[in-house]
Amino acid sequence: MASMKCPKCAAPVEFDAGDRFVKCSYCSSQIFIDKAGAGFIYALPFSVTENDAVGIFRRWAAGPTRAKDLDKLAQISSLKKQYFPVYMFKRDVNGMEHVYIEPAASTTLPGLHNLKVPGGDLKIFDDRFDTGGAELVKIDIEMAPYLSSLPGTAKEQALVYFPIWRLDYAFEQRAYVAVISASSGEVFSGDFPKRSSGAYMAVAGLGFLAFLAEGLLAIASPVLAGALMAVTVAGVFGASNYVARRM
Amino acid sequence: MAISVGLNCPACGGAIQVAEGDNVLNCGYCGSLLWAEGDAGVMTVAYRNVQGRDSVLRATEQWWRKGWKARDLREKGKLLECYPIYLPFWSTTTRVAGWICGYEERRHTDREGNVRTERIPMEEMVLNDYRYTSIACDPGDLGIRYLRNVGGEASFADFESIPTFESTTSKDEMIATSKQRALEEARGDANVPHITFERVIAIPKGISRIYYPVWVVRYSYGERMYMATVDGVTGNVLSGRAPGDPLYQSLAVTAGTSIGGLIAAGGLAFGLGAGEGLLALIGLVVGGAVLALTYRFFRHGSEIVEGDFEGKAADMRGKLMKEARRTFRGFHT
């Protein structure tokens, strides 16, 4: 919670990030918070712990397009708790509200350049905010150039620190990086070890052709075709089970 | 520049009470009718969370048993944490009114085999209300993009105790997309095959922000961590990720190759035997489609994903429209 002075009685009034109207608890005045001329700094709390982050990474690494057993074989070399800064601008363009998100730090990390403010419980970031030991990524892009280049007039502008886990891992002597949003658990990744579809396609394709041939054969000699089909069913099942488990 | 503005009645100087989204109000002291101008804001509603920890965990465990999820999920799955959040949604009502004129063509064949095309003029009045919802923040990996349920008891009682996700998307963009979608849907509902004239307008009737309670459940399966979300009003599982099972994957592809292969063979045999090339082609296409469907599950079935997640975006729009159609029918003349 941040606070300001009541414009009527000067008593401290507490307000939260989403508030537009607050009531002074001393003089009961209703106060409108005009965010057009000010810059707020918000932060999202970490709702994904270190263990959760590793677990989410392993779940992601076990996904169907990731290299087989990446979840078990990836060697996590470091896991960093960071706050990444993003500017959020709300502008009035010809009577329409538009939201623009721009990075406040230059980065090569995946997922952070086509930015969005992840959903989360925005908190006002002040000296009372507990970062939980997270490293604040340094801001190296100023807000002012954005302000003058964006269309329309300002309604609100804010700097939002969004919580990430930066996870560096190695797989087959190559280093990779994944970023896990500590707000929703979304995994961002640029390059990652991929799994080939070859074995999957081979089993499905060969199985299909075998049944097609046996179906045509069934017209000439149904018994032989039936026997062959039984063998093919067993074969396709065995092969696909092996592929699904091991490849 | 001051960021706070105290509000007083311009007639009597008394303090006035105004809620976000209101613009016409009465002064509580002198009764003057007042008009608030400026940054308009949006009417906000929150639904009361009626689910508890236990019912949410039970719903998740039941969900584990459904579908093609790993058979040992019940034994190996461990529920780790579960907490409620309030997610913001935009909810719009858009009225579409107007006339669509055009014609329908019917073909008649008489006894001599002459084909005659009859044009039936159509004149359809359009007067419908369409309601859409869409999440008002980035849903990240929650797999939720619109509301399935718009009922519930409105109450701000839990608002302080449950973390609230802030709305960060533009309400005006939501109004604009709602208008566009309502027009498309109204055109579809009028069902005039050939349009010669139309005059329809979309009128935004209102937008509100709905805070909807959703429970996030995280659970582990071996060393991996999965998640699911549960509706805080109805108690249904909304979205989630779960481990798949190689057995189901291989059964799927075995069924797909055998059924698909035999359909293709049947089509080829009968089609070519009867000299109907088209029949042979249809057999091949249907067989191939069966194979393609089961192949998809074979290739990607190691993780079962339910809900509106990234990467499933292609069918998202269609789904949203379908949902809107089913849930929110206004009146039809």
Q: Which residues of B130-149 are buried (b: 16+ CB within 10 A; e: fewer)?
A: bbbbbbbbbbbbbbbbbbee
What confidence score (pLDDT) does residue B312 get? 47
The model's confidence at residue A146, banded by pLDDT at 50, 70 and 90, is confident
Which of A159, A189, A211, A243 to probe by mutation at the B interface, max B CB count within 10 Å?
A211
Q: Which residues of A touch B79 (CB under 8 A)?
A: none
Integer CA distances (angstroms), B275 to B95, B260, B268, B280, B309, in order: 55, 22, 10, 9, 47
Give CA–CA dist B227/A184, Å, rounded: 10
Q: How far is A143 from chain B (nearest CA, A)?
A: 18
The model's confidence at residue B4, banded by pLDDT at 50, 70 and 90, is low
ipTM of the predicted structure? Answer: 0.80
B174 and B63 share one domain: yes
Residue A1 has pLDDT above 80, yes or no: no
Structural domain of residue B101, as residue ranges? 44-242+309-327
What confidence score (pLDDT) does residue A61 get? 92
Mean pLDDT of chain B: 83
Residue A113 has pLDDT above 70, yes or no: no
Question: Which is higher by pLDDT, A155 or B224?
Answer: B224
Q: What is the pLDDT of residues B222-271, one digit of tens each?
A: 889 999 999 999 999 999 999 999 999 999 999 999 999 999 998 888 88
Q: Which residues of A touch B289 (CB under 8 A)?
A: none
The model's confidence at residue B3, banded by pLDDT at 50, 70 and 90, is low
Decide if B166 and A197 are in contact by the 8 Å CB cutoff. Answer: no
Among candidate residues A197, A188, A129, the one with its CA nearest the CA of residue A161: A129
- Give a three-class secondary structure readout of chain B: CCCEEECECCCCCCECCCCCCCCEEECCCCCCEEECCCCCCCEEEEECCCCCHHHHHHHHHHHHHCCCECCCHHHHEEEEEEEEEEEEEEEEEEEEEEEEEEEEEEEEECCCCCEEEEEEEEEEEEEEEEEEEEECCECCCCCCCCCCCCCCCECCCCCCCCCECCCCCCHHHHHHHHHHHHHHHHHHHHCCCEEEEEEEEEEEEEEEEEEEEEEEEEEEECCEEEEEEEECCCCCEEEEEEEECHHHHHHHHHHHHHHHHHHHHHHHHHHHHCCCHHHHHHHHHHHHHHHHHHHHHHHHCCEEEECCCCCCHHHHHHHHHHHHHHHCECCCC
Q: How far is CA A211 from the centre of its chain?
A: 43
A31 → closest Cβ in B5, B256, B265: B5
Report, as an integer, the average pLDDT of A220-243. 91
Q: Which residues of A touch B6 (CB under 8 A)?
A: 6-8, 29-32
Q: How far is A65 from chain B (nearest CA, A)?
A: 8
Decide if B165 and A28 are in contact by the 8 Å CB cutoff. Answer: no
B65 and B144 share one domain: yes
Q: What is the pLDDT of residues B39-52, one digit of tens each?
A: 566 888 889 999 99
Q: Is B63 a domain residue?
A: yes
B89 and B222 share one domain: yes
Q: Which residues of B touch A120 (CB under 8 A)?
A: 137, 165-166
Which of B135, B299, B308 to probe by mutation at the A interface, max A CB count within 10 Å?
B299
B236 and B118 share one domain: yes
- Enter the tokens of residue B309: 């997640």
The total number of structural domains in chain A stands at 3
The model's confidence at residue B272, banded by pLDDT at 50, 70 and 90, is confident
Residue B106: Cβ-neighbour burial (10 angstroms; 0-12, 13-18, 19+): exposed
Q: What is the pLDDT of residues B196-227, one digit of tens each?
A: 998 999 999 888 889 999 999 999 998 899 99
Residue B98 has pLDDT above 80, yes or no: yes
Decide if B254 and A240 are in contact by the 8 Å CB cutoff. Answer: yes
The model's confidence at residue B6, banded by pLDDT at 50, 70 and 90, is low
Least confident of B53-67, B148-162, B164-178: B148-162
Decide if B254 and A236 are in contact by the 8 Å CB cutoff. Answer: yes
Integer CA distances (angstroms), B299 to A203, B4, B273, in order: 11, 57, 36
For B229, other C-beta atoms within 10 Å of its C-beta total: 25
B209 and B90 share one domain: yes
Give CA–CA dist A146/B283, Å, rounded: 59
Least confident of A222-236, B5-19, B148-162: B5-19
Which of A10-19, A96-105, A161-170, B14-23 shows the highest mean pLDDT? A161-170
A10 and A122 share one domain: no
Decide if A233 and B142 are in contact by the 8 Å CB cutoff. Answer: no
Q: Which residues of A touch B220 (CB under 8 A)?
A: 55
Identify the helix (H) or strand (E) that includes residue A163.
strand A153-171
Report, as an integer, the average pLDDT of A8-18. 78
Residues B284 and B266 sit within 8 Å (Cβ to Cβ): no
Q: Which residues of A touch B168 (CB under 8 A)?
A: 88, 99, 117, 119
B322 and B267 share one domain: no
The model's confidence at residue A119, banded by pLDDT at 50, 70 and 90, is low
B196 and B232 share one domain: yes
A219 → closest Cβ in B5, B220, B269: B269
B255 and B237 share one domain: no
Q: How far is B197 from chain A (nearest CA, A)?
A: 30
Structural domain of residue A209, as residue ranges? 198-246
Q: What is the pLDDT of residues B275-319, one digit of tens each?
A: 778 888 888 899 999 999 999 999 998 899 888 876 544 344 444
Residue B153 has pLDDT above 70, yes or no: yes
Residue B14 has pLDDT above 80, yes or no: no
The total number of structural domains in chain B stands at 3
B320 Cβ neighbours under 8 A, 6+ residues apart? B132, B134, B145, B146
B66 and B204 share one domain: yes
B31 Cβ neighbours under 8 A, 6+ residues apart? none
Give CA–CA dist B217/B296, Å, rounded: 27
Decide if B254 and A233 are in contact by the 8 Å CB cutoff. Answer: yes
Residue B326 has pLDDT above 60, yes or no: no
B268 → closest Cβ in A4, A187, A216: A216
- Enter the tokens of residue B60: 């998740």
What confidence score (pLDDT) does residue A125 get? 82
Which residues are paired to B227 by β-bridges?
B218
Report, as an integer, the average pLDDT of B20-37. 74
B213 Cβ neighbours under 8 A, 6+ residues apart? B46, B47, B48, B49, B51, B84, B85, B86, B87, B158, B162, B231, B232, B233
Decide if B138 and A233 are in contact by the 8 Å CB cutoff. Answer: no
Find the residue in A nearest to B42 (Cα).
Answer: A20
- Tell me the residue type at B145: R
Decide if A97 and B170 are in contact by the 8 Å CB cutoff. Answer: yes
Q: Is B5 a domain residue?
A: yes
Among candidate residues B273, B265, B216, the one with its CA nearest the CA of residue B240: B216
* Window B:92-131, CB contacts with A under 8 Å: none
Decide if A211 and B135 are in contact by the 8 Å CB cutoff. Answer: no
B27 and B67 share one domain: no
What confidence score (pLDDT) does residue A210 get? 93
What confidence score (pLDDT) does residue B21 get? 61
Which of A4, A6, A9, A32 to probe by mutation at the B interface, max B CB count within 10 Å?
A32
Residue B142 has pLDDT above 60, yes or no: yes
A57 and A179 share one domain: yes
Q: Which residues of A touch B253 (CB under 8 A)?
A: 203-204, 207, 236, 240
Residue A16: Cβ-neighbour burial (10 angstroms; 0-12, 13-18, 19+): middle
Residue B62 has pLDDT above 90, yes or no: yes
What confidence score (pLDDT) does residue B290 get? 92
Share of chain A above pLDDT 70, in %: 93
For residue A223, the SS3 value is helix
